[in-house]
């Protein structure tokens, strides 16, 4: 009888111990749930998290509960909460690693999915930690590290558009172009608010990898969704010109103008096409060695300048405050003035008469651009591009006082 009584007492003791440890798990769960619900009120939340950690550490140290999926899940989530709050790398990294390891083990053991919510909560806390870490790394110029941190965040929350975007821009800056392209391709399929720009950035990535066909396809898809996007229209024209399709673009734009002659944007796009033609013929002139070829290209460039001027002016007839049209027209008109001015300054000292004539000619050409340069700055006084164009004008006119004023404004922007 004594032996039986002793055995019964031991069994009762074992049961009580197991129950006590299960109680620690329940306490950890209850306190962690309260912490999650009151995170916005640290005075209430932190004591609950501390109590949750005390309980889970006891449960994790006891052989009866140490290997339970609930123990691993709660340990991972609770340690993740501490890691998410910790901004000191030397202490947050061990917390993060402990949490990540515990959550991984919990997922392996939780074959029935009983603790799926706890595991998900823990991983979201780890993702938040990595997001903060990635922001610091990105700001410090550690783009490859930032990419890894953001990518952890993205893997936990694969449909989060910010997660996709942050990962993508970090990949761009670390020159991990395949990852960047993959990210942007995913981004444009979502409802991300910045997708108009995302299409443009994706086309830039394709162009940087010399994949013109994919760039053109991306731009076409972007324009189909954002037909009023000036940047995408401009990129479409740039790509078309790179592939020798200026006529094709102009035919398309002119057909659209015929159907909608009061659409200022269409005239602007036509101006862009001719402007790109100016840039292309300028580059071709620099490469040409045969005088006849140079002469032909020079004539073609003059034609593009005249047509670009015409189209931009038509856009401005409809809307005199059209910033991009004023900006581009000013640039188109000032560019040949700069060439004449620079050529004059390369003349030898014994060519004074020719020099004076060239400077006088450039002065007239500069003045032709002036109204549009001033208007662009008036419309957008914080546009560095517009200010730089106006600064060039004043330098070309040798107006040092106004050049100094514009230089000060540009410096103030930086």
**DSSP per residue over 147-188, as a string?**
HHHHHHHHHHSTT-HHHHHHHHHHHHHTT-HHHHHHHHHHHT
Q: Is residue 230 part of a domain?
A: yes
- Residue 280 near residue 274, CB atoms below 8 Å: no
- Residue 393 near residue 371, CB atoms below 8 Å: no
- First-to-last alpha carbon distance for the chain, in angstroms, is 92
Q: Is residue 224 part of a domain?
A: yes
Residues 6+ apart with CB under 8 A from 129: 80, 83, 84, 86, 92, 96
Q: Is residue 362 part of a domain?
A: no
Determine which of 9-13, 44-48, 52-56 has the lowest per-residue pLDDT on average. Answer: 9-13
Determine the pLDDT at residue 45. Answer: 83
Mean pLDDT of the region 200-204: 95
More confident residue, 9 or 68: 68
Determine the pLDDT at residue 12. Answer: 45
Determine the pLDDT at residue 144. Answer: 96
Determine which of 207-211, 282-286, 300-304, 345-349 has the lowest per-residue pLDDT on average. Answer: 282-286
| Token pair recorded at residue 270 | 């036509």
Q: Is residue 29 part of a domain?
A: yes
Listed residues 119, 140, 161: the one ending a domain: 140
Residues 6+ apart with CB under 8 A from 67: 109
Q: What is the pLDDT of residues 353-378, one digit of tens each?
A: 999 999 999 999 999 999 999 999 99
Determine the pLDDT at residue 387. Answer: 95
Q: Is residue 255 part of a domain?
A: no
Statement: residue 173 has pLDDT above 90: yes
Distance CA 84, CA 91 (A): 11
Distance CA 321, CA 20 (A): 77
State the total domains in the chain. Answer: 2
- Residue 202 near residue 218, CB atoms below 8 Å: yes
Q: Is residue 408 part of a domain?
A: no
Question: Long-range CB contacts (< 8 A, 24+ apart) of 146-155?
Answer: 146/170, 146/173, 146/174, 147/171, 147/174, 147/176, 147/179, 151/179, 152/126, 152/127, 153/127, 153/128, 154/183
Q: What is the pLDDT of residues 242-292, one digit of tens each?
A: 777 778 888 888 888 888 899 898 899 899 888 887 877 788 788 888 888
pTM (two decimals):
0.66
User: Are 91 and 206 found together in one domain?
Assistant: no
User: Are 116 and 220 found together in one domain?
Assistant: no
- Residue 322 near residue 268, CB atoms below 8 Å: yes
User: Are 121 and 204 found together in one domain?
Assistant: no
Q: Is residue 359 part of a domain?
A: no
| Token pair recorded at residue 103 | 């959550």
Statement: residue 94 has pLDDT above 50: yes
Determine the pLDDT at residue 20. Answer: 53
Determine which of 136-150, 151-165, 170-184, 336-350 has the lowest per-residue pLDDT on average. Answer: 336-350
- Residue 32 near residue 52, CB atoms below 8 Å: yes
| Token pair recorded at residue 77 | 């989530």
Statement: residue 1 has pLDDT above 60: no
Q: What is the pLDDT of residues 128-147, one digit of tens each?
A: 999 999 999 999 999 999 99
- Residue 96 near residue 50, CB atoms below 8 Å: no
Statement: residue 104 has pLDDT above 50: yes
Treating both helix axes as pointing N-terminal to C-terminal, what angle do 116-139 and 2-37 enclose, rounded to 10 degrees?
Answer: 50
**DSSP per residue over 359-374, as a string?**
HHHHHHHHHHHHHHHH
Burial class of residue 235 (count of CB atoms within 10 Å of its CB; 0-12, 13-18, 19+): buried
Determine the pLDDT at residue 25. Answer: 86
Distance CA 165, CA 157 (A): 12
Q: What is the mean pLDDT of the chain?
A: 88
Q: Is residue 249 part of a domain?
A: no
Determine the pLDDT at residue 10. Answer: 44
CA angle at 384 for the pair 379 and 390, rounded to the nearest 5°: 70
- Kindly indicate the confidence band of residue 109, based on its pLDDT and cuts at 50, 70 and 90: very high
- Residue 269 near residue 308, CB atoms below 8 Å: no
DSSP 261: T
Helices and strands (DSSP H and E) totals, the chain = 18, 0
**Percent over 90 (pLDDT), the chain:** 57
Burial class of residue 182 (count of CB atoms within 10 Å of its CB; 0-12, 13-18, 19+): middle
Burial class of residue 283 (count of CB atoms within 10 Å of its CB; 0-12, 13-18, 19+): exposed
Determine which of 142-156, 177-191, 266-280 has the lowest per-residue pLDDT on average. Answer: 266-280
User: Are 130 and 209 found together in one domain?
Assistant: no
Determine the pLDDT at residue 21. Answer: 57
Distance CA 216, CA 239 (A): 7
Q: What is the pLDDT of residues 217-226, one digit of tens each?
A: 999 999 999 9
- Kindly indicate the confidence band of residue 388, based on its pLDDT and cuts at 50, 70 and 90: very high
Determine the pLDDT at residue 9. Answer: 46
Statement: residue 18 has pLDDT above 50: no
User: Are 26 and 136 found together in one domain?
Assistant: yes
| Token pair recorded at residue 52 | 């949750």
Distance CA 393, CA 320 (A): 21
Mean pLDDT of the region 291-319: 90
Domain of residue 72 covers 17-140
Statement: residue 241 has pLDDT above 80: no
Mean pLDDT of the region 393-405: 94
Determine the pLDDT at residue 8. Answer: 44
User: Are 133 and 236 found together in one domain?
Assistant: no
């Amino acid at each position: 009888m004594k032996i039986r009584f002793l055995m019964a007492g031991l069994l009762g003791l074992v049961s009580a111990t197991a129950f006590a440890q299960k109680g620690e798990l329940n306490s950890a769960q209850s306190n962690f749930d309260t912490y999650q619900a009151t995170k916005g009120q640290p005075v209430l939340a932190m004591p609950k998290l501390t109590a949750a950690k005390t309980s889970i550490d006891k449960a994790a140290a006891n052989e009866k509960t140490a290997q339970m999926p609930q123990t691993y899940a709660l340990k991972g989530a609770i340690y993740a909460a501490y890691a998410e709050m910790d901004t000191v790398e030397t202490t947050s990294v061990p917390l993060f690693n402990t949490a990540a390891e515990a959550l991984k083990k919990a997922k392996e053991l939780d074959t029935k999915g009983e603790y799926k919510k706890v595991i998900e909560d823990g991983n979201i806390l780890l993702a938040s930690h990595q997001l903060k870490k990635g922001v610091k790394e990105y700001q410090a110029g550690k783009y490859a590290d930032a990419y890894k941190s953001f990518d952890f965040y993205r893997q936990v929350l694969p449909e989060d558009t910010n997660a996709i975007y942050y990962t993508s821009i970090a990949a761009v800056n670390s020159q991990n172009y395949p990852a960047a392209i993959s990210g942007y391709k995913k981004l444009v399929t979502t409802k991300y608010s910045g997708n108009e720009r995302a299409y443009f950035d994706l086309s830039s990535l394709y162009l940087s990898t010399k994949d013109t066909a994919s760039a053109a396809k991306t731009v076409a898809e972007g324009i189909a969704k954002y037909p009023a996007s000036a940047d995408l229209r401009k990129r479409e024209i740039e790509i078309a010109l790179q592939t020798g399709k200026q006529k094709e673009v102009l035919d398309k734009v002119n057909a659209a103008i015929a159907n909608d002659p009061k659409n200022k944007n269409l005239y602007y796009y036509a101006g862009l096409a001719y402007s790109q033609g100016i840039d292309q013929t300028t580059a071709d002139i620099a490469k040409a060695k045969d005088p006849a070829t140079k002469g032909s290209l020079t004539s073609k460039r003059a034609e593009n300048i005249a047509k670009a001027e015409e189209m931009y002016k038509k856009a401005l007839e409809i809307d005199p405050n059209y910033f991009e049209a004023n900006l581009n027209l000013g640039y188109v008109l000032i560019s040949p003035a700069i060439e004449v001015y620079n050529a004059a300054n390369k003349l030898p000292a014994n060519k004074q008469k020719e020099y004076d004539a060239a400077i006088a000619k450039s002065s007239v050409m500069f003045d032709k651009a002036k109204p549009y340069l001033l208007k662009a700055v008036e419309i957008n006084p914080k546009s560095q591009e517009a200010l730089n164009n106006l600064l060039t004008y004043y330098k070309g006119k040798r107006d040092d006082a106004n050049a100094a004023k514009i230089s000060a404004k540009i410096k103030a922007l930086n």
